[in-house]
Each structure stands twice: as structure tokens, then as C-alpha cells.
């Protein structure tokens, strides 16, 4: 079959570039030879039209609101699976057999403790430090403790580092929370499942038995599934770029955490809840909708809009259902924030501006209400996002490292600065 090509014509010159098709989604124009052949770069700040890599892990159809992990729809994984099984799927490409699942669950369980000396890291932070600041520091420091899994050329060390990251993130996240509220750290419990263990490490205290509510643990596990991976989002691209230089996986994940913290990305769940609190009551919604539409006002509706989804974020639907489940399990009736959120969604989805710009609720719109009901303070919301996204970062990092064509990422630029000029002595300026 003749190869499909794209023709670029500039003036009286033209060049052909190969067009490649994947299994799903848009074709790509391979412009790898553009600079060599035309002495020109492409220009795409924000990468709105740029595919940075080839990947088999996650597929998103933004127009149809579809999200597949290794081909499986997020709705089915969230309904029938659990987070650790989803981790296996993202890392190895197939759903595990019963034996593989049991083996993987136990390997994760026996990596949940952190080196005892890491406890001292926390005391270096002020108690009121934002938990995401603590996560950036402590996760980055993991490479100082686990030298035996930082050689990225060794498949065994890559696998051990991957398991360690997935297993230790809940422990570190719970330690960040406990340190922040001045309570003692709680060790992981091997008899508990991943989500129950995390809730136990966050909410139990030495003075009494803490029974994890299985309905809340299931909801927590589903929230982890919904946040696990999402194609080449900003933080995943950060992890890939950091990893492309050969940096160790712990340092790459720390870079991903730093990027996720931004309010335009993973920080939106914290910002969305703060926005709902600021709106306060449904009668103030029109004022905020007007501000979101005002070009001169930097305010945006947090938890709304998405670079890829121009339809409803499928995760937001499942998150909304989980919110109702958690609130009813906790006997929370008429949660004022949920009322404002549902009214805000209703108004926004019928407003011309939001329809024209295809702005729908994203995963961050309802997650904050659920996490607050589970007992987490707002500044822990992005920590939970980072905890869940660690498997996605690691799976994408692993795919990049194992790609024989992998090379260091090094974009170019359109230079618009001063042309060359000579130095002027200070007395002549
Ligand atoms: C996540 O990439 C991922 O997959 C991310 C994520 C993941 O799982 O990794 O899905 C997680 O980050 C979800 C997004 C969370 N962020 C927020 O909820 C913050 C609020 N949303 C916006 O900041 C914005 O929608 C972005 C950042 C999410 C997307 O921005 P884009 O794709 O760069 O789009 P844009 O900013 O160019 O907006 C297009 C238009 C603009 O108007 P015009 O300049 O064309 O006139 O829509 C407007 C924007 O002003 N717009 C909004 C809006 N989002 C976009 N207007 C009001 N409120 C908003 N929320």
C-alpha cells in the first residue's frame, strides 16, 4: 500500500512528509525531518496539535467523551475492577489472571512501608506547609533511600522502582496529612486492601480501634481508578521529559507532582471546592458565570473545561455518582456545596458561552465534594490526585524508557529577541 504523505509548500518549494495512522484517533504527520529538509520548525505553544509520542496505554476521544485504558472503558474498570488491578493493566497491558492479580496485590502490599529515617524529613517542614510541597520534597528524596532501584537500564530495577512508587505513595501521602494535622504517623497494615489501608493511615489514631467503612473504601478505590492515567496531560508529559534525560524514576515522579499542583491541572480539585465555598449559595451563581465569561476577568470556573474533552468528561459522571453514594452513606443530606455544584452545572450547560466553547464539568468538579465528605481537608485533594496518578506516570515513563527509538526531548523555539549586538561599557550606557 503506497504510503500516505502530506505536502508542505512554501513559495516555490514543496516537501512530502509521511502520514501515520494509529489504531484509534487522529492520524499524525511525521515531521521529524522538517528542520533537516526545510530549515524551519513547527510552532505549537501548548502543544494543541502536537503528538509527542506513540503510546499503547490510554486513549481519549474528546468529542465522544471516551476514555480507554489498554482498550477497556473507564466506566467498566471503575464498575467491575479495583485500583491495583487497574495498575497491573496500565503497567503490563492486560488484565491480570487470578494468580497474577494475587501476586501483584501482595507485592504491592509488602512495599508499603517507607525507610524509617524518612520520618525525619517531615520534621523539617513547618506544620502549616501545603501537603503538596511536602510531597514534592519527600518523593524527590526517595532516590536518596532506594539506590538499588535507580538504574533505569536494568528491567528488574525499573520494575522494583515502579512497585515501590505505587506502594509507598499512600504511606507518604498519609504521613504528609498526619504531619500537617499534628497527629502521629500510622503504619500500613498488610491485612487491609490498598484504599482501606490508605484511609486507615489517614484517619486512625493510636487511642482507639478504627474500622474502615467498606462503602467509603470502595468509593476511595474508585476515585483512584478515575485518576490513574490520562494520556499525555501536562504532568505526564513532564515525567516523560524528565525521564528522557535518564533521570531516576523517583525524581521524575517528583517533577510530575510539581506540575500536577497547578490550578489549571490537578490543583483544580482544590480550586473548585474553594470556588464553590466562595459562591456559597445558588443565588450568587449568575455573578460567577458572568465573571467566567468576562474576557477582562482572569476568573475561570474551576472544574470546567478541558483541553481534550469537548463533551462531558466520562470520569466526571462516575465521580458525580460516587459523590451521591458517599454523601448518602454518611447521611449527609442537602450538602450546600453539592447543591451549588449541581445548580452551577445546570446553568452552565444551558449557557450559550459554555455551549459554544464546549465547556463541561471535568473530573475535578465533583471530586472535591466527595473528598471533603470523606474527611480530607481541601489542601489534601491534589495529593490524592498525585497518589492515584503515580501509576499512570510510572506506566508512561516505563513505556518511554523501553522504546528503542527514545531520545532526550529537546524542543526548539521561534526567537524574537535582540539580534547580535556588541557589549557597551557601563560608562557609555
Ligand atoms: C485536569 O490534560 C488532562 O488530561 C488533564 C486532566 C488529567 O486527568 O490529567 O484531565 C486533569 O487537569 C482537568 C482540568 C482541570 N482544570 C480546571 O478545571 C481549571 C479550569 N479549566 C481551564 O483552566 C481550562 O479549561 C483548561 C486549562 C482545563 C483547558 O484549557 P485550554 O484547553 O488551554 O483551553 P483554553 O484555555 O484555550 O480555553 C478555550 C476557551 C477560552 O476562551 P477564548 O480565549 O477562546 O475566548 O474557553 C475558555 C477560555 O477562556 N475557558 C473557560 C474555562 N475553560 C476554558 N472559561 C471559563 N471557565 C473555564 N473553566
Per-residue cell: 40:
524551519
Distance from C-alpha of 404 to C-alpha of 406, rounded to nearest angstrom: 6
Out of 69, 105, 180, 306, the active site residue is 306
Does 364 participate in catalysis according to the annotation?
yes
| Ligand 1, atom 47: closest residue by C-alpha | 357
Beta-carbon count within 10 A of 38 CB: 15
User: Contact at 8 Å (CB) between 373 and 326?
Assistant: yes
**How confident is the model at residue 148, as a pLDDT?**
84
Q: Which among 271, 288, 306, 348 is the best mutation to test ligand 1's pocket, defined by most ligand atoms within 8 Å of the CB? A: 306
For residue 270, the CA-to-ligand 1 centroid distance in Å is 15
Atom of ligand 1 nearest to the CA of 363: 13
**How confident is the model at residue 221, as a pLDDT?**
98
Atom of ligand 1 nearest to the CA of 60: 4
Per-residue cell: 409:
526531548
3-state class (DSSP) for residue 35: helix
For residue 352, the CA-to-ligand 1 centroid distance in Å is 17
Atom of ligand 1 nearest to the CA of 266: 12
- 265-308 per-position pLDDT tens digit: 999 999 999 999 999 999 999 999 999 999 999 999 999 999 99
- 244-253 per-position pLDDT tens digit: 999 999 999 9
User: Contact at 8 Å (CB) between 218 and 329?
Assistant: no
User: Contact at 8 Å (CB) between 390 and 139?
Assistant: no
**How confident is the model at residue 1, as a pLDDT?**
63
User: Contact at 8 Å (CB) between 377 and 327?
Assistant: no
Using alpha carbons only, what angle is made at residue 407 by residues 402 and 410, rounded to the nearest 5 degrees? 140
Residues 30, 33, 37, 40, Cα dihedral to 10°: 80
Does 306 participate in catalysis according to the annotation?
yes
Per-residue cell: 339:
447543591
Bridge partners of residue 68, in order along the sequence? 59, 73
For residue 305, the CA-to-ligand 1 centroid distance in Å is 4
Residues with a CB atom less than 6 Å from ligand 1:
230, 233, 264-266, 268, 292, 300-308, 357, 359, 362-364
For residue 341, the CA-to-ligand 1 centroid distance in Å is 18
**How confident is the model at residue 343, as a pLDDT?**
94
Atom of ligand 1 nearest to the CA of 362: 13
Distance from C-alpha of 197 to C-alpha of 171, rounded to nearest angstrom: 9
Tens of pLDDT, residue by residue, the chain (429 residues): 678 999 999 999 999 999 999 999 999 999 999 999 999 999 999 999 999 999 999 999 999 999 999 999 999 999 999 999 999 999 999 999 999 999 999 999 999 999 999 999 999 999 999 999 999 999 999 989 888 888 888 999 999 999 999 999 999 999 999 999 999 999 999 999 999 999 999 999 999 999 999 999 999 999 999 999 999 999 999 999 999 999 999 999 999 999 999 999 999 999 999 999 999 999 999 999 999 999 999 999 999 999 999 988 999 999 999 999 999 999 998 888 989 999 999 998 899 999 999 999 999 999 999 999 999 999 999 999 999 999 999 999 999 999 999 999 999 999 999 999 999 999 999
For residue 336, the CA-to-ligand 1 centroid distance in Å is 25
Distance from C-alpha of 212 to C-alpha of 201, rounded to nearest angstrom: 10
Name every residue whose Cβ is closer than 8 Å to that of residue 182 and which is 6 or more positions away in sequence. 127
Amino acid at each position: 500500500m503506497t504510503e500516505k504523505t502530506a505536502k508542505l509548500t512554501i513559495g516555490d518549494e514543496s516537501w512530502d512528509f509521511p502520514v501515520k495512522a494509529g489504531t484509534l484517533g487522529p492520524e499524525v504527520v511525521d515531521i521529524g525531518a522538517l528542520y533537516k529538509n526545510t530549515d524551519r520548525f513547527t510552532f505549537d505553544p501548548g502543544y494543541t496539535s502536537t503528538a509527542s509520542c506513540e503510546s499503547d496505554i490510554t486513549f481519549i476521544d474528546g468529542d465522544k467523551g471516551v476514555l480507554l485504558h489498554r482498550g477497556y472503558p473507564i466506566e467498566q474498570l471503575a464498575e467491575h475492577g479495583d485500583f491495583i488491578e487497574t495498575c497491573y493493566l496500565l503497567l503490563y497491558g492486560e488484565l491480570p489472571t487470578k494468580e497474577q492479580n494475587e501476586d501483584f496485590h501482595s507485592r504491592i502490599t509488602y512495599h508499603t512501608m517507607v525507610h524509617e529515617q524518612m520520618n525525619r524529613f517531615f520534621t523539617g517542614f513547618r506544620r502549616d506547609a501545603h501537603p503538596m510541597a511536602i510531597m514534592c520534597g519527600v518523593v524527590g528524596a526517595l532516590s536518596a533511600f532506594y539506590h538499588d532501584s535507580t538504574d533505569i537500564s536494568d528491567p528488574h530495577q525499573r520494575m522494583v522502582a515502579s512497585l515501590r512508587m505505587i506502594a509507598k505513595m499512600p504511606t507518604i501521602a498519609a504521613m504528609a496529612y498526619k504531619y500537617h494535622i499534628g497527629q502521629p504517623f500510622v503504619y500500613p497494615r498488610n491485612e487491609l486492601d490498598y484504599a482501606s489501608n490508605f484511609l486507615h493511615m489517614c484517619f486512625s489514631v493510636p487511642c482507639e480501634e478504627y474500622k474502615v467503612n467498606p462503602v467509603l473504601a470502595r468509593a476511595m478505590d474508585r476515585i483512584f481508578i478515575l485518576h490513574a492515567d490520562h494520556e499525555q496531560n501536562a504532568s505526564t508529559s513532564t515525567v516523560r521529559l524528565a525521564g528522557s534525560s535518564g533521570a531516576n524514576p523517583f525524581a521524575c515522579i517528583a517533577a510530575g507532582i510539581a506540575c500536577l499542583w497547578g490550578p489549571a491541572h490537578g490543583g483544580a480539585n482544590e480550586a473548585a471546592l474553594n470556588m464553590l465555598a466562595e459562591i456559597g449559595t445558588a443565588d450568587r451563581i449568575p455573578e460567577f458565570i458572568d465573571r467566567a465569561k468576562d474576557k477582562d476577568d482572569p476568573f475561570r470556573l474551576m472544574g470546567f473545561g478541558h483541553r481534550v474533552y469537548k463533551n462531558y468528561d466520562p470520569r466526571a459522571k462516575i465521580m458525580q455518582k460516587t459523590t451521591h453514594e458517599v454523601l448518602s452513606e454518611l447521611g449527609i443530606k442537602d450538602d450546600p456545596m453539592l447543591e451549588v455544584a449541581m445548580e452551577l452545572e445546570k446553568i452552565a450547560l444551558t449557557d450559550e458561552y459554555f455551549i459554544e466553547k464546549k465547556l463541561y464539568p471535568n473530573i475535578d468538579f465533583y471530586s472535591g465534594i466527595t473528598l471533603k465528605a470523606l474527611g480530607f481537608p481541601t489542601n489534601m485533594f491534589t495529593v490524592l490526585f498525585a497518589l492515584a496518578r503515580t501509576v499512570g506516570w510510572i506506566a508512561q515513563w516505563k513505556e518511554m524508557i523501553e522504546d528503542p527509538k527514545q531520545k532526550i526531548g529537546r524542543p526548539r523555539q521561534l526567537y524574537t529577541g535582540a539580534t547580535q549586538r556588541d557589549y557597551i561599557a557601563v560608562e557609555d550606557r
